Amino acid sequence: MMNKQPGTSGLIFNEPQLWDKSREGRCAVSLPKMDVDRSPLGPELTGDAPDLPQLSELDVVRHFTRLSQWNFGVDSGMYPLGSCTMKYNPKTNEVQAARQGFAGAHPLAGEEFSQGALRLMYDLEQYLAEITGFPAVTVQPAAGAHGELTGMLIIHAYHAKQGRQRSKIIIPDTAHGTNPASASLCGYESINIKSGPKGILDPAIVAEVMDEDTAGIMITNPNTLGLFEENIKEVCEIVHAKGGLVYGDGANMNAIMGIVKPGDLGIDVLHLNLHKTFSTPHGGGGPGSGPVAVRKDLIPFLPVPRVEKELDTYKFVTDCPDSIGRMHTFYGHFGVMVKAYAYILSMGGEGLKQASQYAVLNANYIKESLKDTLNLPYDRPCMHECVFNDANQQEYHITTMDMAKRLLDYGFHPPTVYFPLVVDGAFMVEPTETESKEDIDQFIDAVKAIAAEARQDPESMHKAPVKTKVTRLDEVGAARKPCLRG
């Protein structure tokens, strides 16, 4: 059992709406004495006054402080669902993005007055090209799925330029769920294939479905099982032999950054997630950034405008007749680019490599520590995340959801559950590189304690969480009869 845990019941404040706390005459701000005569409002402004709450300064401070305490973020504790949204990011990168020269830059200022911003975007593209092993990158796409769409549009434009469009795209069962949607938006039919017994692609299966009517394959590497696709080069050769292209989903680059260059593996188009790998928090829906890297002969298809350098001047270039066009207003989410740029410069090449190494080390430490507690469908070295499931707890009628809910009582945000779909009852843990051994040990102890409770007192598990402000919700009822009123 655990000797300590990060979460306790503590004091959990209720907080009414501001209008319920309002009292006539209270004011949170001391207004200066008027130095002009009072004048009545004109007839057009004499209607009913707005219904604003009247509160003291202390009321206001406590209200927003209590609301913030209801929220859980990576600044509060460990997020075992990892870099997908909750990788910790150094605060210095936020400071740089908030500098007036960047935060106050206007997109209509013109090239002459935007040289600093253009240089940052140009240099960032060069850095990302070096990291990924590709000759060119665009940072215009606004997020990961947007980068996927950009990459697939490039593949579509490439085949059109060859004089014969194709109709299908291969998508493994370990690819990210947005991949088939991006392919469908380009008119492709998704051909789903199963991974092999080791959880990675079997080249023979790819060879069976790859033909001259298939545009290519979309590969997530490392895949959603947290495993590196060891046969990636052979798969690329099979696809290329039939004239297809290989799209790389780089959302899991956090595991191989500085170690493997996808461009050296045979991948033709790759998207990255700056908001996952390169230090921009993406929780709450955005903003994000999904740069796309391409091999040399695909450069003409990149979206416009492109940032190019002539001598010491940076400019936008739009004269690109084969371009897929503009993918975003202006040039994407510039603030996200600043944070990624600051992260790369502050970490350096060796630092980026170490971040990947620590992410992999932490995930494998969790895998080895919990594989006798939770079922491990693929007992082999993982990358940045490891996938368990609830097979060991099913005899006690305890599910992955029960364990995830109970983790809340121990002060941990639950990990990713029921994904990837190739593992029934998946319990996927991604600690990222920034969690210390002490914090990871607390998480491991909590999971072991929950597994023991599942054996000894399974009924209590069905009631979890019990220490949170809101206990277990009727999720089926919420899905079927949602209450959408605030």
Phi, psi of 441 (to 5 degrees): -60, -40
Same domain, 439 and 410: yes
**Same domain assignment for residues 323 and 337:** yes
Residue 473: inside a domain: no
Residue 109 lies in a domain: yes
Judged against a pLDDT cut of 60, whether residue 34 lies above it is answered with yes
Residues 302 and 193 in one domain: yes
CATH label of the domain that carries residue 454: 3.90.1150.10
Work out the number of other CB atoms within 10 angstroms of the CB of residue 402: 23
pLDDT score at 324 = 98
Q: Are residues 404 and 309 in the same domain?
A: no
Residue 355 is predicted with a pLDDT of 95
**Contact call for residues 306 and 139 (beta carbons, < 8 A):** no
Residues 335 and 194 in one domain: yes
Q: Quick check: 279 pLDDT over 90?
A: no
Please check whether residue 85 lies inside any domain of the structure. no
Domain annotation covers residue 284: yes
* CB 65 within 8 Å of CB 58: no
Residue type for 482, please?
Answer: P
Range(s) of the domain holding residue 430: 351-458
User: CA-based angle 136:349:297, to the nearest 5?
Assistant: 15
- CA–CA gap between residue 226 and residue 419 (Å, rounded): 11
Q: Are residues 241 and 276 in the same domain?
A: yes
Strand-pair category, 313-317 with 136-138: unpaired
Residue 148 in domain: yes
Least-confidence region, from 75-89, 167-181, 425-439: 75-89
In a domain, 68, yes or no: no
CATH number at residue 337: 3.40.640.10
Same domain as 239, residue 339: yes
The answer to whether the beta carbons of residues 266 and 242 sit under 8 Å apart is: no
The reply to whether 311 and 409 lie within a common domain is: no
| Residue 363 domain-assigned (yes or no) | yes
Q: Which of 75-89, 289-303, 375-389, 467-481 has the lowest mean pLDDT?
A: 75-89
Question: Considering the chain, what is the average pLDDT of its residues?
Answer: 92
Structure tokens at 21: 């706390």
Tell me whether residue 5 is in a domain: no
Which whole number is the average pLDDT over 270-293?
Answer: 83
Interval 430-445: pLDDT, tens: 999 999 999 999 999 9
Structure tokens belonging to residue 301: 């298809």
Q: Which range (78-82, 279-283, 304-308, 440-444) has the least confidence?
A: 279-283
Residue 287 shares a structural domain with residue 361: no
Which of 321, 346, 371 is at the close of a domain? 346
Average pLDDT over residues 205-223: 97
What is the domain count for the chain?
2
Q: Is 2 a residue whose pLDDT tops 60?
A: no
Helices (H) and strands (E) in the chain, counts: 15, 12
pTM of the model: 0.90
Q: In the predicted model, is pLDDT for residue 379 greater than 90?
A: yes
Which of 319, 346, 373 is at the close of a domain? Answer: 346
Together in a domain, 218 and 338? yes
Pairing of strands 426-429, 416-417: antiparallel
| Residue 409 and residue 296 share a domain | no
Does residue 428 have a pLDDT over 90? yes
The residue among 346, 381, 402 that closes a domain is 346
Per-residue pLDDT, 459: 94
Q: Residue 290: how many CA atoms within 13 Å on its side-chain side?
A: 26
Parallel, antiparallel or unpaired: strands 189-193 and 313-317: unpaired
CA-closest candidate to residue 165, choices 174, 173, 156: 156
Quick check: 380 and 227 in contact, CB under 8 A? yes
- DSSP alpha helix (H) spans, 33-190: 57-70, 91-97, 100-103, 115-132, 144-161, 178-185
State the average pLDDT over residues 29-49. 76
Q: Per the structure block, which two tokens stand in for 473?
A: 């919700």
**pLDDT digit string (tens) for 242-253?**
999 999 999 999
pLDDT in tens, 298-349: 999 999 999 999 999 999 999 999 999 999 988 999 999 999 999 999 999 9
CA dist 209 and 159 (Å) reads: 18
Q: For residue range 105-150, what is the model confidence (pLDDT) as tens digits?
A: 998 999 999 999 999 999 999 999 999 999 999 999 998 899 999 9
Least confident span in 32-36, 192-196, 209-213? 32-36
pLDDT, position 100:
95
Q: In which band, very low, low, confident or very high, does the pLDDT at 485 lie, cut at 50, 70 and 90?
A: low
Q: 277 and 366 in one domain?
A: no
Closest CA to 166 of 213, 226, 205: 213
Q: Residue 94: what residue type?
A: E
Q: Name the amino acid, one letter, at 427.
A: F
Sorting pLDDT into bands at 50, 70 and 90, what band is 78? confident
